[in-house]
Amino acid sequence: MSVEVGNRIKLIRKKRGETLEQFGNAIGGVLKSNVSKWERGQSLPNNERIKKIAELGDTTVQELLREDDYINVGYAIKELRDSYRETQQQFADRIGISRTYLNDLENNRKSSSVRTLNQIADKLNMKLDIRFIK
């Protein structure tokens, strides 16, 4: 997971002057232990919570999730799938991977090789650097 993202989440919470518990409630009833794990970089919030945290921090999801010059690939894949309005199964079938693997990519439980990302981009008639690199 990412300590950098966790530090940005913590900064948002601190700027709002909230405790872990208050911040968790502002996000939608999240346990303070989960907020603490995010801040320490031990896990990442799901996509809906990422959106809410970005909103609370008056920033974008891309800025919140950035790591150096790259955006969070799992989030980018989920946003791309959402733009096609497809289920995970439909999108996985379209790009030639299993639904389970797609789910793991979207939720940052697995990383993908550049080769796999290129295959995804090719099947969608996209250039990898346009969609995944900031």
Q: Report percent pLDDT > 70 for the chain.
A: 89
Q: Return the CATH superfamily for domain 3-65.
A: lambda repressor-like DNA-binding domains (1.10.260.40)
Judge whether residue 122 has pLDDT over 60. yes
Is the pLDDT confidence value at 133 over 70?
A: no
- pLDDT beyond 60 at 1: no
Contacts of 58 (CB under 8 A, 6+ apart): none
- In tens, the pLDDT along 52-95 reads 999 999 998 878 887 654 556 787 788 888 888 999 999 999 88
The mean pLDDT of 30-44, rounded to a whole number, is 90
Structure-model confidence comparison of residues 54 and 47, the more confident one: 54
CB neighbour list of residue 79: distance below 8 Å, 6 or more residues apart: none
pLDDT confidence tier of residue 24, bands split at 50, 70 and 90:
very high
Cite the residue boundaries of each domain of the chain with CATH code 1.10.260.40.
3-65, 73-131
Residue 49 carries which side chain, given as an amino acid letter? R
Q: Is the pLDDT of residue 132 over 70?
A: no
Residue entry with tokens 């405790």:
19
Query: How many angstroms separate the CA atoms of 44 and 60, rounded?
Result: 16
CA distance 81 to 103: 11
Task: Tell me which CATH homologous superfamily contains domain 73-131.
Answer: lambda repressor-like DNA-binding domains (1.10.260.40)
Report the percentage of the chain scoring pLDDT > 90: 41
pLDDT range class, residue 129, cuts 50, 70, 90: low
In the numeric block, the tokens 């891309």 are attached to 62
